[in-house]
Amino acid sequence: MKVSLKDVAEHAGVSIKTVSNVVNNYQHVTPAMRARVQQAIDELGYRPNLTARHLRKGRTGIIALAVPELGNPYFAELAGAVIDVAAEHEYTVLLDHTGGRREQEVLVSQGFRARVIDGLILSPIELEHDDLRERSDDAPLVLLGEREYDLPYDHIAIDNVAAARTAVRHLLDLGRTRIAFLGARTDRVNQPAQLRLHGWRAELTAAGLAAPDSLVAPTTGWDHAHGAAAMAGLLESGVRPDAVFAYNDLIAIGAMRVLSEQGLRVPEDVAVVGFDDISEGRYGAVTLTTISPDKQTIARLAVQSVVGRLLGTADSAQAGEARQIRPDFSLVERESTRGRV
């Protein structure tokens, strides 16, 4: 039989209002009274009806997270972190997969599930300014990733140029001078691939080295197969880098496979750095040095932004004000650059 507030109140010898104040974390409850009610809650196994609580506030208790690729380990790990943080705020997360297609991103951003969700965390690839400028849905929206929008929405993204420069600087410090970039997408302005390419070029130039296009290997996608194809194409063209900076870990892992097949050792012959710090990179035959975005912090900031706007808390941005939030990143050194210790 389901335990009610009344049952808890009778067991604790207090009023239903007092139990409600404790359950809803009302601040004006004495520590002794809170402990007394909490003991009754624990003994009876009471669980609050979160759905009813949200509905009383005119909400559903659901936040949507829309990402380009759920099959990409980075987004899968990010989604797990968002779900965990949302649960701390008593919210459920609805996952959506846009495929990086503009029409799907428009559909999601325009509130096609407006009656289902209270807020949206969106990682767009193709969405344009005008698509968001015409947005009529008033549910809080938080943007992830590197597309820059001069619009009143919080935007959370690491500094990709600085992160790329950090990766290249690491390779330069190891004495590598012919550093290739795998995963360029020069057709997309202000996309992560172009920003990371810019960082690659800027750091080489700052070191007094050339950054020729012959060391840049574009890809049409971002998985193992695309990384393998890019690496194979680079080698077949006669270019022999002594290091590789890859757009992401999947491309880096694909590239390392081809290097091994070609009889080239990692890192002795070619050092490799990836980006994203996915779990797969930690358990290969050669573990992968990578740029590690703080996914836990990204998830926490995104959820807090949505919830803060819903609650109108003091630490959330005022209506109409957008915040550009830059979470930290770090370089994680592993065997693909340092070798086995």
- Per-residue pLDDT at 186: 55
Split at pLDDT 50, 70, 90, the class of 235 is very high
Statement to judge: residues 66 and 85 lie in one domain: yes
Instruction: Between 206 and 309, name the one with better pLDDT.
Output: 206
289 and 177 in a single domain? The answer is yes
* 220/305 same-domain check: no
Residue 285 is assigned to a structural domain of this protein: yes
**338 in a domain, yes or no?**
no
Q: Are residues 154 and 222 in the same domain?
A: no
| Rounded distance between C-alpha atoms, residue 254 and residue 87, angstroms | 35
Does one domain contain both 181 and 212?
A: yes
Same domain for 75 and 144? yes
Lowest mean pLDDT among 9-13, 147-151, 152-156: 147-151
Residue 49 lies in a domain: no
Domain match, 104 and 195 both: no
pLDDT digits (tens, 9 = 90+) for 28-61: 778 888 888 888 888 887 776 555 454 445 568 8
Of 143-157, 261-275, 293-307, 311-325, the least confident: 311-325
Residue 318 pLDDT grade (very low, low, confident, very high; cuts 50, 70, 90): very low
Is pLDDT of 317 > 60? no
In a domain, 134, yes or no: yes
Q: Are residues 307 and 216 in the same domain?
A: no
For residue 116, being part of any structural domain is answered with yes
Say if 36 falls within a structural domain.
Answer: yes
Provide the percentage of residues in the chain whose pLDDT is more than 90: 56
Q: How many domains does the chain have?
A: 3
Domain identity same for 31 and 119: no
Question: What is the average pLDDT across 17-32?
Answer: 76
- 30 lies in some domain: yes
Task: Specify the pLDDT at position 4.
Answer: 76
Structural domain that includes position 30: 5-43
One domain, residues 138 and 211: no
Q: What pLDDT does residue 190 have?
A: 52
Residues 93 and 132 in one domain: yes
Is there a domain that residue 335 lies in? Answer: no
Q: Are strands 271-275 and 243-246 parallel, antiparallel or unpaired?
A: parallel
Q: What is the mean pLDDT of residues 154-168?
A: 95
Say if residue 70 is in the same domain as residue 146: yes
Does the pLDDT at position 312 exceed 70? yes
Q: What is the CATH number of the domain that holds 245?
A: 3.40.50.2300
